[in-house]
Amino acid sequence: MTCSNHDDSRPNLDLVTEWKAFELINSEKSGSGPEAAKLIDAAGGVFLTPELARNAINPGPALTIEGLLQVIKKAGEIRCLSFVDEKYAAELSNCYSKNAAAMFKINWELASTTARAVLQSLSFLGPEPVPRRLLRDVLDHHLECLSDELLDQAIGELADKLFLIELDEDSDPRLNRPISACVRKTIDAPGNLSEIVARAVVAEMARAADESDVHAYEQLEKILPHAELLVSYETIKTEHAIDLANYLCIHNWKRERFREAEKHGRKAAEITGKHLQPGHPRIATSQSNLGEVLRNLGKLEEARELLRAALESDEKNYEPGHPIIAIRQSVLALVLQDLGAFEEARILLRKALESDERTFDPGHPKIATRQLNLAAVLHDLGELEEARDLTKQAYRSFLAKLGPEHPYTETAKRNWESI
């Protein structure tokens, strides 16, 4: 049961009056008038749609009209779900009759086991389309022996037969909020399903920090609204909320949506500061992520203080020369360079470069990045010969590892040619 206005192939969602429903019943199932009258009366004289009416009065041999009446009775009569009407009145006014939410219970009884699992999983996510790969990750922990074919069949059943979900242009399912509320409020889900959903979303969003994942840049766009919703839940585990807020910050930063990245970065810093002990490594991570975003927004002084605090904390938590310390040194150095503190920036970048040269193989992109950053500071200090040599090394490393068309390679080449 959906209310899409964008797909002409979807059913007409005009309400079916008592008289029209009775006509439909008599035409669909000869001799069912007396039983059908009971069903119409139970539904308050109104069905949602012709399709729902057909499902209700001609569901197949597995469920008779009398059986449907028992389902309604078991659910506590039609008005047992009036809370949904009240909470989502604006949305229901266009798509649903007064007590139509209760008809969800009928369609739930008609749904297969896999379709029910899909609905329950979707109910813990937002009303936006859910990528099938994310849904599959959730269901792999929720069901045994789930094949792609079985998942496709369940989604097709929910969309084309029961009309409980919609599909977008990528055939990814979405569950609107009233039906989502019906699922959460009236159906007992496995106790750990919310945790399974949260872990799956965190795993997807972790791709934002993986530089080698070339598809994450676009694919994570569909995950964002679900990650944002989970972060807003008070019941979510602190570790999941921190991870999601940081990954949201990183992804939006990469997309150059700096204001949005700042919002999530501050949320991560708020959660870590509230729930973790001072000096915890996760606090430093959140400070560093937010500091990078603030640099792009021109808030250099605040960025510098956050990045200094992150570096000081990590120097206490890790051995000298640890890769995380090198990252903190490099990011702080970029802010100091923007502030004109070239000498301190150079010292930090030399330390970071020396650390990475011990950690990574020669020619690694991490080393090339440090070389390029140090070269930029040396250029500002007028030390052009060393700056040119470092830029040349960085360009050759990027060219060998990433190819000629990669943005890092192109930037290094431009810098080398301009010195």
Give the start-end residues of each E strand in 306-346.
none
Residue with tokens 């008070």: 234
d(CA 45, CA 293): 57
Q: Are 381 and 347 in contact (CB under 8 A)?
A: no
Q: Nearest 10 degrees: CA dihedral of 312, 316, 318, 319?
A: 110
How many Cα atoms are found within 13 Å in the side-chain-facing hemisphere of 168?
Answer: 13
Tokens (6 digits) for 67: 């059986």
Q: What is the mean pLDDT of residues 361-390?
A: 95
Residue 213: pLDDT band with limits 50, 70, 90:
confident
Chain segment 317-358, per-residue pLDDT in tens: 999 999 999 999 999 999 999 999 999 999 999 999 999 999
Query: In angstroms, how far apart are the furthest CA atoms of the chain?
Result: 96
Helix (H) / strand (E) element for 166: namely strand 166-167
How many Cα atoms are found within 13 Å in the side-chain-facing hemisphere of 293?
Answer: 29
3-state secondary structure of 173: strand
Contacts of 272 (CB under 8 A, 6+ apart): 242, 280, 282, 283, 285, 286
Q: What's the pTM value of the predicted model, to 2 decimals?
A: 0.76
Residue with tokens 């872990």: 199
Average pLDDT score, the chain: 82
Q: What is the mean pLDDT of residues 125-135?
A: 95
More confident residue, 43 or 190: 190
Q: Can you give the pLDDT at residue 328?
A: 97
Residue with tokens 């699922």: 183
Residue with tokens 């909470």: 87
3-state secondary structure of 2: coil
Query: DSSP string spanning 101-153?
Result: GGHHHHHHHHS-HHHHHHHHHHHTS-SS---HHHHHHHHHTTSSS--HHHHHH
Residue 104: pLDDT band with limits 50, 70, 90:
confident
% of the chain beyond a pLDDT of 70: 75
Chain segment 154-172, per-residue pLDDT in tens: 999 999 988 889 999 999 9
Residue 10: pLDDT band with limits 50, 70, 90:
very low
CB burial of 76-112 (b: ≥16 within 10 Å; e: otherwise) equals eebebbeebbeebeeebeebbbbbbbbbbbbbbbbbe
Q: Single out the residue of 341, 313, 340 nearest to residue 325, CA to CA.
A: 313
d(CA 280, CA 262): 21
3-state secondary structure of 198: helix
Q: What is the mean pLDDT of residues 66-75?
A: 53
Q: Are 172 and 129 in contact (CB under 8 A)?
A: yes
Query: Which amino acid is present at 123?
Result: S
Q: What is the mean pLDDT of residues 38-67?
A: 48
d(CA 28, CA 235): 47
Using the predicted structure, report yes or no on whether residue 382 has a pLDDT greater than 50.
yes
Contacts of 386 (CB under 8 A, 6+ apart): 375, 378
Tokens (6 digits) for 25: 């019943």
Q: Single out the residue of 118, 109, 42, 39 nearest to residue 80, CA to CA.
A: 42
